[in-house]
Amino acid sequence: MLLPGLWAVRVNVVVHNQNAMKREIQSGGAAGAVYGLGFIGATVYFVSHAGGFWMGVWGILKAMVWPALLVYEAFEYLNAV
């Protein structure tokens, strides 16, 4: 059995952590939406251009890291100019 004082401290810590998580989620909502839409678009693009099943799986993996591929290609293009 917990003492009433310790119970109050435990509840306060849990409520504080939940409030901190809510603030964190709200601050990154737009970036998550952009990444999510980009992931869906990249998945459709890479899978539709796949020649077989394993190339489709590779396309899904590439879609997970599409921002890195985009930056890499941009730097390669800027270096070539």
Residue 22 pLDDT more than 80?
A: no
pLDDT value at position 14? Answer: 56
Structural domain range at position 23? 4-80
User: What percent of the chain is modeled with pLDDT above 90?
Assistant: 42
Q: How far apart are CA 21 and CA 17, in angstroms?
A: 6
Least confident of 16-20, 40-44, 51-55, 57-61: 16-20
How many domains does the chain fold into?
A: 1
pLDDT value at position 18? Answer: 58
At 23-40, the pLDDT tens digits run 555 566 677 888 888 899
* Contact call for residues 60 and 46 (beta carbons, < 8 A): yes
Bigger pLDDT: 56 or 12?
56
Q: From 38, 35, 56, select the one nearest 46 (Cα to Cα).
A: 56
Q: How far apart are CA 39 and CA 33, in angstroms?
A: 10
